[in-house]
Amino acid sequence: MSAPQQQILIVDDHSANRRVLYELFKDNYRIILAKNGPMALALAQKHLPDLILLDVVMPEVNGYEVMSGLKAEPATRDIPVIFITALEDQSYEERGLLLGAADYIIKPFYPPIVRARVNNHMQWVRQRHLLERFALLDPLTELPNRRRLEDTLKAKHAPGSSVSLAVLDVDHFKQFNDRYGHAAGDRALQALAGALHEVKQNEGELMARFGGEEFVIWLPQCDRAQASRRCEELRLAVSKLRIPHVEGKLKISCSIGGVSAVIGHSGGVPDDLFETADGQLYLAKSQGRDRVHWSELSGC
Ligand SMILES: [Mg+2]
C-alpha cells in the first residue's frame, strides 16, 4: 500500500509570503494555495489536506476564524493547523494553541526550522492515517472490515435512489475447517476475498468481511436487477476458484442473500435491510446453496 503524496494547504493574504512557503515545501509535498479565509475553508473541504499553514492577520476572515470554521466541520476537524504569523505577543500564541493549533511559528522565521517542524507533523499525520486505515481493514483478507461497513451505512443518500445490500456466506465452511484445519480455512477465505476483489466493482460499492465466513456487499445506486446480476458474478467467481471441498462436493461455493430498497425522505438506509438480506441468505441456503436469493423492501 503506497501512500499518496501528502498535501499542505498554505493560507496567507500576501503573495510574497505564500511564495516563500511554497518554495520551501514544493519539492516534498503537493501544495494548495489560498489567499483568504473563505478560500481556505473551501479548499480544505475540497482537498482535505494533511496539514494547514495558516496566517493569522488577514482581512475580513482572520486565521482564528478560519480555525473555528475548520473545527466546526467533521471532515476538517482533525486536520492539524500551524499558525504562521508576525504577531509575537504571547497571548496570540496562547489563543492559537487553545483553539487547537498543532504549532505556532512567528515571522520572520528561519526556514530550516519551519521545514523541520512541518516534516515532523507530516510524519505524525502519516502514522495516524496508517493506523486509521488498519483500524478499518480486516487483517486476514485485507478487505474493509465490519466497522468500515457500519460507518458507510450511516451515510445519507438522495431520497428516491435505489440501494442494495447482500450477505454472502461460504457454504459448509465449518466442515471445511474441520476437515482441512483452520490454516487451510484462512487460506480459502483469502482466496475467496481475492476472487471477489477481482470482479470489477462499481463506484461507491463496498465489499467487507463481516466476520467468520460471512461477507457483506453494499451496492449504492443499484436496483434489484443490477445488484442481483452483480452478486451472481461474485457467486460465479467463487465457484471458479475450484477449492476442493468435502461432503461429496467438488469445490467451495457460496450462498448470497440480497435486498434492494428505495431511499425515503430521511435519506437514511432502512434499518431492516440487513435482516431482510439475512432472511434471503437463509432461503438460498435452504434451497440448496450455491445460489443468489433476492428480495425488495418497499415503503421505507
Ligand atoms: Mg497576513
Which domains can be identified in the chain, with CATH numbers?
A: 7-135 (3.40.50.2300), 146-297 (3.30.70.270)
Q: How many CB atoms lie within 10 A of CB 128?
A: 13
**Mean pLDDT, residues 175-184 taken together:** 90
Measured in Å, residue 152 CA sits from the centre of ligand 1 at 40
What pLDDT does residue 247 have? 61
d(CA 166, CA 231): 8
| Alpha-carbon separation of residue 243 from 59, 182, 197, 205, 254 (angstroms) | 67, 15, 17, 26, 12
pLDDT at 119 over 70: yes
Measured in Å, residue 63 CA sits from the centre of ligand 1 at 9
Task: Let me know if 205 is a catalytic residue.
Answer: no
Measured in Å, residue 59 CA sits from the centre of ligand 1 at 8
pLDDT at 250 over 90: no
pLDDT at 114 over 50: yes
**Catalytic residue of the set 23, 60, 73, 213:** 213
Task: Choose the most confident range, by mean pLDDT, from 170-174, 176-180, 213-217.
Answer: 213-217
Confidence of residue 300 (pLDDT cuts 50, 70, 90): very low
pLDDT per residue over 253-288, tens digit each?
Answer: 999 999 999 999 999 998 899 999 999 999 999 999
Query: Which of 44-53, 139-148, 240-249 is the least confident region?
Result: 240-249
Written as nine digits, the cell of 76 is 476538517
Give the list of residues 6+ apart from residue 41 with CB closer than 8 angstroms, or none: 66, 69, 70, 76
Which residues have a beta carbon within 5 Å of ligand 1, which is an ion?
Answer: 13, 55, 57-58
Measured in Å, residue 57 CA sits from the centre of ligand 1 at 4
| Alpha-carbon separation of residue 265 from 156, 224, 227 (angstroms) | 10, 20, 22
Measured in Å, residue 198 CA sits from the centre of ligand 1 at 51
Indicate the pTM of the whole model.
0.71
Residue with cell 435482516: 275
Measured in Å, residue 16 CA sits from the centre of ligand 1 at 10
Strand order in the sheet with 7-11: 30-34, 7-11, 51-55, 81-85, 103-106
pLDDT at 225 over 60: yes
Measured in Å, residue 107 CA sits from the centre of ligand 1 at 11
